[in-house]
Structure 1
């Protein structure tokens, strides 16, 4: 057992070493961008194209679509490269949420509020429960879209620092819950109705009366939450943290003191009161059917509350951070408060530069249709395999996991894959709800090792706070055990679930 563990560690060390020997992430994205430009033109000259049945975005109807690779070296392609640069950067999905959230999180951290809160928690919370709590919070944060990446991942590192544990282990635990457990949750999230709608459209190719509800995977995702939390805890405590070794704790990194002064205690008390009042105020705007932050139908899913969750999280951190700072004298006036905001944004300078280049690559890759061609060809290869139902579903999960490394947007991938796989599996007697659940496993488990995932550069930036040499290799080596073990265990759970005929959600069918 010990030899096996050492071998695994040496492999992870080799991955980290090799990954960190790569050029700077900015350089890597530049290289990838050049490759996309060249490959797109070569594929264009050879007339590479794919056909699949899907929803025509112009008509909204299901029909056979032909997608060909678009060259980035034609007149139109070159024009797109030059004219889309600013829009690619400013509309990149990770940019706005990160900067808005950091206005609040940065003030809460630099005023000393988070450090004091963690110190208070350290003296009361059992150490053995910290890891599962961090992983669980990561899983549950997916109800609030991208807030987990922006807020919880760095908070996981800070929490572990407060317990004199390695911050990268806390970062990894939180990231594993947020990204690796993306499809697991105790609640219905914003993604469930979106995926269900795509699945319903795909099922309509064979059966126009078939409807997939947002809750049709809920039972399975509910159970998956416990799987992810248990495995995430074991991997963090038994594999990741021992491999990281001892950490050189530094006051500059907000590792809290053992005890709070009387002023800090008073400041913390009133800051917590401010946090509670802030939350109550926000809940008052969403608690009743006609509340301002409810949707037009009176619901929460897809409501203004969900759309504004990043701003809400900013307020939840900003207001108590300001209260703590004013009482503890770390903030004396409005200029000090603004200075803390400036300081928190300045720490993200490297991330902003990285995002600029990452955004160009993602945009050009999407424009060229190379991602669509890769996804459709992979799907059609699976369709051509004549094997049993369980092997087909397991293979489908693996294909989804591989494609997830190339195309990070879950709804975009499913919009391409669902019209192919859902009708095909229906012909094999597999209900669309089952196909959707299988897809979601693959879509979650490789998020944590995909450099193309929009928030991956942010995770690298967070890791560099705890070691200037930490890079892509560091994050990939940290997260690879989660990815592999989550994938294997989740497949086993899925197969057992399916074989025992357990409904994947309330009223959901197993067979078609």
Structure 2
């Protein structure tokens, strides 16, 4: 086959931009140390502002809010004596562990991988792009493991269909990363973000709770939208690249299709596990129907019921059942101890997150106790009220800020922990719900994940691509991902704006 020379991947300006992002990002400390530096900054700032008597008066209530000094006797108690309580009471901590116990069982059993393989097997033509992209949305259940699982599956599926395996890698990578906060299923991201949002919202509304299902309706619709957008851009723009022809050998290897297609035993296990999932959901619905059900909340409510407020263990149990049923039938789980080992591995994979949580929880505790966040929220809200800015425009402006920050701070939980303590209460004072603020953050936090070289998964995707195209570099991958990221951002932000203006609930009870 004649080799087609790849066209120039990126302009010099684009290369310089990526180099600048990489230089800035490399100068930032690890998020763990970043939050400790921020905590030290809060301590110093609280001492200075408190000494100067800095305060603000909230116009709506006449309440005076003054900065409290962390270097005072009470402040040192927060720093030293309350350190363990700050960590233990950090809302995302128990939630993400409970959910991960179940998801790790489903993942280690092979259920999630088989489900993803089944979604893309026997699909060809343009439908393959949509199937692979939608499979990535489902794959968000597995968190970052989706990158390792689905990118090679995408390459194999495209190669088996006679298409460029590089394009398959790109579709899988962009679908996972640019749509990371969207899924037709609840994921650990829902549990993680809702916990941080709850902590931020309680700065001004102590009893406000944001549940893991707070953005479910929006996430479900967004997952389909993003899959459609990626399919349209790939099939109308990227397929026209002349360099794709060089990624294929003379003959299509039909055996690759068998690699993607689950075995008969795996498919049987998947069907029965799926039936168990449907039965589990049906049982929950049946239990919730009677008005006198113990799972109903005050006044026979549904949204404020134990089922919703205690969603984390319910999700964990749901995924654990799927994993156990699938694992037993597929032969990946042969003993009860295999399930325990899977849970142990799942918690072990959370170790970096738990270490980061310790630093974040201290920073947020200091920030909340000093009242600095509350003062910034009140001042920002009153400034925006003075400009008479429309709520949707404020949200889009926040999305732009977060998008730029996400190019450098690539950890979603770290970035949300950084901005939520200001944005969430500030917008609550403007009448914008925490659920809406969290939803727009999810858009901004996701779309640019596939173009920043600071993301370790950007480099991982590049390594996969290089197995099929030795000459590929950062510029090659970026030339594929830039048009996709730009399209996803513009259309997803427009979709969010329309959703917000129409007053559609972002999730149950919002």
* TM tier relative to shorter chain: 0.5 to 0.7
**Residue number among 344, 356, 373 corresponding to 2:375 in the alignment:** 373
Q: Conserved in 2, the CA contact under 8 Å of 1:401 and 1:444?
A: no
Aligned with 2:100 (options 99, 102, 110): 102
Say if 1:272 and 1:446 are closer, same or farther in 2 by CA, change over 3 A.
Answer: closer
Name the CA shift for 1:307/1:47 in 2 (closer, same or farther; >3 Å): same
Query: Which residue in the other structure is 1:33 paired with?
Result: 39
Q: CA deviation at 1:361?
A: 1.0
Which residues of 2 match residues 15-34 of structure 1 at below 5 A? 15-34=21-40
Alignment of 1:313-324 (within 5 A): 313-324=315-326
Cα pair distance change 1:132/1:414, threshold 3 Å: same
Gaps of 5+ in 2: 1-6, 156-167, 184-193, 206-216, 245-257, 403-414, 447-453, 464-477, 506-510
When residues 265 and 364 of structure 1 are mapped into structure 2, their CA distance, relative to the original with a 3 A threshold, is same
The residue aligned with 2:162 is none
Say whether the 8 Å CA contact 1:156–1:174 is kept in structure 2: no
SS of the residue corresponding to residue 324 of structure 2 reads helix
- Indicate the residue corresponding to 1:127 in structure 2: 128
Distance 2:332 2:323 in 1: 10
- Aligned counterparts, 1:438-457, within 5 A: 444-446=439-441
Matched residue, 2:176: 171
TM-score between both structures, scaled by the size of structure 1: 0.62
3-state SS in 2 of match to 1:67: strand
The residue aligned with 1:184 is none
- Residue 264 of structure 1 is matched in structure 2 by 266
After superposition, the Cα gap between the structure-2 partners of 1:94 and 1:266, relative to the gap in structure 1 and judged at 3 Å, is same
The answer as to 2:109 corresponding to 1:111 is: yes
Larger CA deviation: 329-338 vs 39-48:
329-338
- What is the CA distance between 1:66 and its match in structure 2? 0.9
Structure 2: distance between partners of 1:362 and 1:87 = 12
CA-CA distance at 1:449 after TM superposition: 6.1
Deviations 1:13-71 (A, max 9, x none): 532453244222211111111111111111111111111145xxxxxxxx311111111
| Contact 2:400–2:444 (CA under 8 A) maintained in structure 1 | no
1:329 aligns with 2:327: no
Backbone CA RMSD of aligned residues: 5.1
Secondary structure at the aligned position of 2:56 is classed as strand
Displacement of 1:73: 0.8
Q: 1:381 to 1:483 in 2, by over 3 A?
A: farther
Give the TM-score normalised by the residue count of structure 2: 0.62
Contact 2:109 2:326 in 1 (8 A): yes
1:345 Cα deviation (Å)? 1.1
- Listed as ranges, the matches of 1:337-416 within 5 Å are 337-385=339-387, 396-397=394-395, 416=426
Distance across 2 between alignment mates of 1:273 and 1:226: 23
